């Protein structure tokens, strides 16, 4: 039920869920952003107090972040947490502990710490319950400091108390409870019509006026970004292979370093039942793949030589202080080298001809008129040195230059607009035809034939959103919010499919307080609202304290 509430909040209570997102991790991580001032080297201040911690001290900041990381790990929330969130969370924990001191909350007792341990996700087994073995593994980890873990656990107890106090009971309107209860426990029996976009081929013509209008309205899509014009001196590894000689010992050592790189070829299907498995002979395994090992070692050696020669060229250009222009061509010609052209490329992507390694992109970023050659960069076929020629500014091309792309986009955009129109037509036709005694599948088949499109029909037995079938697409489920029994939904689209839902039956649960689920739902919603309130309060404290202690803001 909890996971369903989260999904429903996200889809139907955007304002509330926006607040909840602001309090991620333990319900109140705040994203202060790059302006939080944590350990910024450009601040030349000796002290910056933040609830008793000096943010100008790397030692204090590191301690706060170590505590935050340990807290996240204990709660089993390490996946997907980035560095900025850890920094923000560390500040929030400091603010919460400051509030605990202001409220004179006592240190956590051993019993409170033990009770907390039993609720932490880090020590939960597959059934979600406390697992003693997981706890013992963590406790006996040589990389953990028991005293530090105990201190952080004690802080977690006090933070939880602060959260409960400042969050309050969580105010929930009765209408919210009944709405969530109705959405979660209403029983639906539906039939689903899935429209295949790939089968939809309307006749569309694109006149010159249509293309000109579409291009004018979407010029930003066709802007040519700023590009670099460059050449490169290629050092292909293949040029070095012929002169390489390897000893048997070198080949064997290369194989032994990582035998898994060279799996033995699959044996042919045995004519007789397989003999009992025996331990493989290392010598025989090596002999079976020796040609592949030798070829791989030669290629590695060749690439190393190519990289060395490329690096030597870059160094020679530096030492000789060769100016850009014709002098470079003469310098290369004297060494029997030639620069090859590259298609103009963006600095973010680099030249497609040479791959897309991070080193290549980094080398491209440094090219300019003042530094026209790169260091040696590895390429898929060896190594290269890039030579800058010019920077092309971003420009808006003429329609004639991008006409084919504009036409393709116009046709696809028009096709999707027609598909949306088809959805409205299908909804109307299904609604009318379902009043007949024909079964849903027969009605869908007739509508599909009439509109020359492929539609699949499927009946779904009774379910609730809190316990829904796993194979039902989200786009189809979203249509249930505005659907009554006997109605056909508007078409929703996702992944090149259109979905129309027919509500065969709809049974709403008891929405009065007499329903036991009412009290449970109210408590769950109240808990979410209390967490959101606590998170917002702590976020305000952190923001105010950072602003108060910001030396630049004080000037």
Do 53 and 100 lie in a common domain? yes
529 burial via Cβ count (<10 Å: 0-12, 13-18, 19+): buried
CA 314 to chain centre: 38
For residue 234, give its domain range: 224-265+282-392
Last residue of a domain, one of 351, 367, 392: 392
Identify whether the C-beta of residue 400 lies closer than 8 Å to the C-beta of residue 412: no
Tokens of 56: 């100008």
DSSP 388: E
C-alpha pair distances (Å), 15 with each of 10, 18, 478, 532:
9, 5, 18, 11
At 7 the pLDDT is: 46
Query: Residue 216, Cβ neighbours under 10 Å: how many?
Result: 9
Do 440 and 527 lie in a common domain? no
At 277 the pLDDT is: 52
Phi and psi for 179 in degrees, rounded to 5? -65, -45
Do 234 and 337 lie in a common domain? yes
Judge whether 218 lies within some domain: no
Judge whether 8 lies within some domain: yes
Do 455 and 483 lie in a common domain? yes
Do 435 and 360 lie in a common domain? no
What 3-state DSSP class applies to 464?
A: strand
Q: In the block, which residue shows the tokens 């304002």?
A: 15
Q: What pTM was estimated for this model as a whole?
A: 0.59
Identify whether the C-beta of residue 217 lies closer than 8 Å to the C-beta of residue 361: no
Do 135 and 65 lie in a common domain? yes
Whole-number Å distance between alpha carbons of 547 and 541: 10
Do 430 and 380 lie in a common domain? no
DSSP 335: T
Do 85 and 124 lie in a common domain? yes
Last residue of a domain, one of 489, 507, 525: 507
Judge whether 251 lies within some domain: yes
Query: Residue 338, Cβ neighbours under 10 Å: how many?
Result: 11
CA 57 to chain centre: 33
Do 372 and 241 lie in a common domain? yes
Predicted confidence pLDDT, tens digits, the chain (555 residues): 434 444 444 444 433 333 333 333 434 343 334 344 444 444 444 688 899 899 888 899 999 999 999 898 888 876 667 888 889 999 999 999 999 999 999 999 999 999 999 988 888 888 888 888 888 888 777 777 888 889 999 999 999 999 989 888 888 888 888 888 877 888 999 999 999 999 999 999 999 999 999 999 999 999 999 999 999 999 999 999 988 889 999 999 999 898 888 888 766 555 555 555 555 667 888 888 999 999 999 999 999 999 999 999 999 999 999 999 999 999 999 999 999 999 999 988 889 999 878 889 889 999 999 999 999 999 999 999 999 999 999 999 999 999 999 999 999 999 999 999 999 999 999 999 999 888 999 999 999 999 999 999 999 999 998 888 888 898 888 888 889 999 999 999 999 999 999 999 999 888 888 888 888 888 888 888 888 888 889 999 999 988 888 776 555
Q: How far apart are the first and last CA of the chain?
A: 52
Judge whether 217 lies within some domain: no
Whole-number Å distance between alpha carbons of 469 and 10: 20
Judge whether 555 lies within some domain: no
Do 20 and 163 lie in a common domain? yes
Do 249 and 194 lie in a common domain? no
Judge whether 491 lies within some domain: yes
Do 328 and 466 lie in a common domain? no
DSSP string, 24-77: BTTTTB----GGG-TT-TT---S--EETTEETT-HHHHHHHHHHHHHHHHHTT-
Last residue of a domain, one of 371, 392, 413: 392
546 burial via Cβ count (<10 Å: 0-12, 13-18, 19+): buried
Judge whether 271 lies within some domain: no
Write out 179-196 in H/E/C secondary structure. Answer: HHHHHHHCEEEEEEEEEE
Q: Which residues contact 145 (CB under 8 A, 6 or more apart)?
A: none
At 137 the pLDDT is: 83
At 4 the pLDDT is: 43
Total structural domains in the chain? 3
**128: Cα within 13 Å, side-chain hemisphere:** 0
Judge whether 341 lies within some domain: yes
At 310 the pLDDT is: 95
Identify whether the C-beta of residue 342 lies closer than 8 Å to the C-beta of residue 364: no
Whole-number Å distance between alpha carbons of 477 and 183: 11
Pinpoint the alpha helices (H) of 452-515. Answer: 474-477
């Amino acid at each position: 039920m909890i996971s369903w509430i989260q999904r429903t909040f996200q889809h139907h209570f955007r304002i509330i869920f926006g607040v909840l997102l602001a309090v991620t991790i333990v319900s109140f991580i705040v994203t202060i952003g790059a302006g939080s001032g944590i350990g910024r080297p450009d601040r030349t201040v000796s002290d910056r107090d933040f609830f008793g911690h000096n943010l100008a001290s790397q030692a204090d900041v590191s301690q706060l972040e170590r505590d935050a990381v340990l807290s996240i790990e204990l709660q089993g929330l390490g996946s997907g947490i980035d560095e900025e969130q850890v920094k923000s969370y560390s500040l929030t924990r400091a603010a919460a502990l400051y509030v605990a001191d202001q409220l004179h909350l006592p240190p956590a007792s051993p019993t409170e710490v033990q009770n907390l341990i039993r609720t932490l996700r880090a020590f939960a087994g597959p059934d979600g319950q406390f697992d003693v073995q997981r706890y013992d593994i963590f406790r006996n980890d040589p990389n953990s400091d028991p005293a530090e873990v105990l201190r952080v656990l004690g802080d977690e107890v006090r933070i939880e108390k602060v959260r409960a106090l400042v969050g309050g009971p969580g105010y929930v309107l009765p209408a919210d409870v009944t709405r969530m209860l109705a959405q979660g426990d209403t029983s639906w029996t539906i039939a689903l019509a899935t429209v295949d976009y790939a089968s939809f081929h309307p006749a569309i013509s694109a006149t010159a006026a249509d293309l000109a209008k579409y291009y004018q309205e979407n010029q930003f899509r066709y802007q040519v970004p700023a590009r670099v014009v460059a050449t490169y001196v290629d050092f292909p590894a293949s040029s070095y292979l012929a002169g390489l000689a390897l000893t048997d010992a070198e080949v064997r050592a290369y194989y032994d370093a990582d035998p898994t790189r060279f799996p033995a070829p699959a044996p042919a299907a045995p004519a007789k039942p397989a003999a009992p498995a025996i331990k493989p002979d290392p010598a025989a395994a090596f002999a079976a793949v020796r040609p592949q090992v030798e070829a791989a070692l030669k290629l590695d050696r060749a690439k190393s030589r190519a990289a060395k020669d490329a690096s030597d060229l870059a160094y020679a250009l530096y030492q000789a202080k060769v100016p850009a222009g014709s002098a470079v061509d003469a310098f290369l010609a004297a060494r029997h080298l030639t620069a090859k052209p590259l298609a103009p490329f963006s600095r973010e992507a680099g030249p497609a001809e040479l791959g897309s390694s991070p080193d290549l992109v980094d080398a491209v970023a440094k090219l300019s008129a003042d530094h026209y050659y790169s260091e040696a960069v590895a390429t898929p076929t060896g190594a290269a040195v890039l030579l800058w020629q010019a920077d092309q500014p971003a420009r808006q091309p003429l329609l004639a230059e991008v006409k084919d792309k504009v036409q393709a986009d116009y046709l696809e955009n028009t096709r999707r607009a027609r598909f949306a129109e088809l959805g409205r037509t299908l909804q109307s036709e299904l609604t009318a035809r379902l009043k007949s005694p024909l079964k849903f599948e027969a009605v869908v088949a007739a509508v599909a034939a009439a509109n020359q499109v492929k539609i699949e029909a499927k009946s779904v037995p009774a379910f609730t959103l809190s316990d829904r079938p796993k194979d039902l697409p989200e786009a189809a489920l979203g249509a249930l919010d505005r659907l009554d029994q006997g109605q056909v939904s508007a078409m929703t689209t996702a992944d090149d499919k259109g979905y129309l839902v027919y509500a065969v039956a709809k049974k709403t649960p008891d929405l009065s307080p007499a329903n036991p689920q009412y009290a449970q739902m109210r408590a769950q919603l109240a808990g979410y609202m209390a967490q959101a309130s606590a998170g917002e309060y702590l976020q305000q404290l952190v923001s105010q304290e950072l602003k108060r202690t910001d030396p630049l803001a004080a000037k």
